[in-house]
Structure 1
């Protein structure tokens, strides 16, 4: 799908740790919650495996895969809308986008990109800069904080990578006009991104999986009763 962000974010391939064979060994990398996720989540399907050629799970009774309707029901995000697609950013454009969208100066933008080792920004730096914004601040500051939050949300849910600490700045391209954010087909982009990550996860030597695991878990729990966790009817801690 080329530069289509629904397939794969335009700049994500330039970030260390996002290559299919790169495990992203960073000092600040959190405890990996996606390691062996393919085995843990897909394991309950006896004889089943993901086939990237058809974007389906091959199961004993046939083929099956998450659909646009599944994503819409589980996440409640728009199915129809403008494509989540843009051209790949240069380093200069990435820095300028940070300046325009988040109100930082160019030197801060360049430092943020350098610290994140690619066209990304650290999640913690977003918290530090915008965590104290309140209704008492001016409208421009509030708008910048809103974009920062949405950037964090997109990078940590729909288009989560394997580091869990960095968010690609390219998503700010879709957040400049806050009123039009809802006009994009986030449902389709999230599903295409999940398909790509499932295809990557089955490659030899890959030990981590990117993508929105809650979406995949929700789909499995919805369609496969045997994979659902047992309810704690006694309301006791495990």
Structure 2
């Protein structure tokens, strides 16, 4: 099915404070984080290499099936091999603990039939989709509309699950960045690995040696994905974590050399990672703008095109639409996705240069907000007149003493 890489990555504890600091810098109209050093975002390249998910495939969409519990019971019996109780459904969702209990209760071995193996595999795939790839805010149930895409196990790997994951993550970041929102769902593993891998002052030190793993030597199992390196112990002695205020301030003070624009080897370069196209996951459609982050592909960054107004897509929800055909509703976006190989943006190689033009630097300074922490919370001025000479005293706020470098720099400038 192409989901093996997610299993290899295992579980990684999330830093809610880091996620909050990143959400503060997310821009809904560009789907990028606005950092001091420029725009950056999670790309199709990151999703494919972190989880080894297929990117270049069919859009993950179709009919949003909605049935009564007794119909879902028969569907589960046919495709999953067991019949859950009616109380274990949450509308069109199934409680994932039921899938877990069922998978633990049966044994798959060489004597198992092909049908038994397929049914067991669909159960595992649903848990991966509902728990890692496309989790809702409740985090304990999975929508059974994905079951239709799992019926033919030979076709599952032909869908672009990677683009669906990125569309889902973009939508969650856009929702979380609006006023009044206090939670975020989606594939947070991808977001956190992206931040820890690229922002140098956030990256922890590995604890102990990398464990030996020879599973891929027999050429039966796929090669481990990039995200597997986070499936181990780390030490945070020299790294800031679990503090929104500190992480926010460090992002405010970020230097150009503290962000890794190019993270992967050139041997992984694929053109469709740079396609300016829509990302689709049933009702969710989000625009993908690699032209705004060309430095992440080792190319020179110029001033990008205008921002995309995605409010019409953000307002498109599944609420009140039973058995709705999202493939028909988003047919124009699906056509654009299918034409993605003709929508590739090309840039000049950086060749070790700064990675952006002077025009882009000036343009970015004018359209962004580099500092999240309000200035009034960092320091304040007191002006005294001494013999006709203005003396400016800078007093640091006691809650932001880590900004002492800024205070010293300001004093030197004032002098």
TM-score (structure 2 length as normaliser): 0.43
Counterpart for residue 62 of structure 1: 38
CA displacement, residues 16-68 of structure 1 (integer Å, 9 cap, x when unaligned): xxxxxxxxxxxxxxxxx77x83x4235279xx611112111112232211111
Distance 2:172 2:34 in 1: 17
**Residues 202, 133 of structure 1: alpha-carbon distance in 2 compared, 3 angstrom cutoff:** same
Counterpart for residue 51 of structure 2: 75
2:111 maps to 1:133: no
Higher strand share: 2
2:43 maps to 1:43: no
Specify which structure has the bigger relative contact order, considering alpha-carbon pairs within 8 angstroms and separated by 6 or more residues: 1
Distance 2:21 2:97 in 1: 34
In our comparison, the structure showing a higher alpha carbon Rg is: 2
Counterpart for residue 23 of structure 1: none
Distance 1:81 1:190 in 2: 13
CA contact (8 A) 2:205 2:235 kept: no
SS at match of 1:58: strand
2:181 maps to 1:206: yes
Q: Which runs of 4+ in 1 moved over 3 A?
A: 92-97, 230-238
Distance 2:189 2:153 in 1: 25
Aligned-CA RMSD value: 2.7
CA contact (8 A) 1:201 1:207 kept: yes
Which of 67, 86, 89 in structure 1 is aligned with 2:62? 86
- How far off is 1:187 after superposition? 1.0
Equivalence map 1:110-189=2 (5 Å): 111-112=85-86, 114-131=87-104, 132-135=106-109, 136-189=111-164
SS at match of 1:194: helix
Give unpaired runs (5+ residues) of structure 1: 1-32
Distance 2:60 2:208 in 1: 42
- How far off is 1:94 after superposition? 4.6
Distance 2:143 2:123 in 1: 12
